[in-house]
Amino acid sequence: MTHILCPLAPDRTRIECEWLFSREAVESDGFDPTYASEFWDITNEQDWKACEAVQRGVSSRGYRQGPLSPREDAVYDLITLVAGGYLEGGVARPASRNPEAVW
């Protein structure tokens, strides 16, 4: 399964989900991806609502930026990657805050 997120506006994104199955699976007797797609529909809907809630919070007048949790290494890496691209005119893999992180 792949997701493509297409930003439409600061507060709106189109999400395209595509399921990919091997030819052998699709051609097998009784192939039915319904269970998997229904499960992911529920999971994705919950994830999207969580993202929307965070966006509302960040957009509020009361929002104050705080430090990232040590569990947010991926967020830190993305922020560092984007900031480096703006500051240095290019993109390079950022140094991790976690010396034990494995790429």
Per-residue pLDDT tens digits for 53-96: 888 888 888 888 888 888 888 888 888 888 888 888 877 665 66
pLDDT (0 to 100) of residue 65: 82
pTM: 0.53
Residue 10 has pLDDT above 90, yes or no: no
pLDDT (0 to 100) of residue 101: 54
DSSP states of 51-87: HHHHHHHHHSTT----PPPTT-HHHHHHHHHHHHHHH
